Structure 1
């Protein structure tokens, strides 16, 4: 069976939505099922403001380890106001959203996010995450 462009877009949207839901539920097993083995995560905007401090997690194991560390620092996580843009072939999905998080200390951590997800064979092969590092610095005070 050959998928149409619309079917590829629908699949990509479903995979990315499921990944955001798994993050909200702090579900590393759910995340793992949505990633390729060589899935990378790039965070190019470092809180320091220096390009050389960008974070790159290479491979599924490193990406999941990063996510588990993030889960451990958060009491609650929610992505609201999700807006999706899917490429015609379903290989790339952009998401603009708000993050409504609560740190373990009880401090609210609101932020804005833009994600780029690159998919291969219906799984996420790379995630690039952009957020406001100033909002993060204020929450950690």
Structure 2
């Protein structure tokens, strides 16, 4: 069995989602409620990193951290951390596709899909 990986989702003609891959970009049920635009407006120096770290923290601590909500609504879409955590097992062993650019060789992956890959494929405790 190969190690699950993050792949960059393309919107170009002819691109197909590979077998054994799941789309986790914002419109999906596994989407990240923290946006690049919000991070830029908050003057974060690394907006992609800020969004991935906020997503990780939101899943890890939820409301125990103070200001995080269980759910966020952006337009008509609702992001629910309890649902994401309850369905995390469905991502185990799958490649995850998001529109975020892939990192350069040796660089950290600042995408919420990388967070989901890590959480979904951790050994059972």
Q: Structure 1-normalised TM-score?
A: 0.26
Choose between structure 1 and 2 for higher RCO, CA contacts under 8 A separated by at least 6 residues: 2
Greater percentage in strand: 1
TM-score between both structures, scaled by the size of structure 2: 0.29
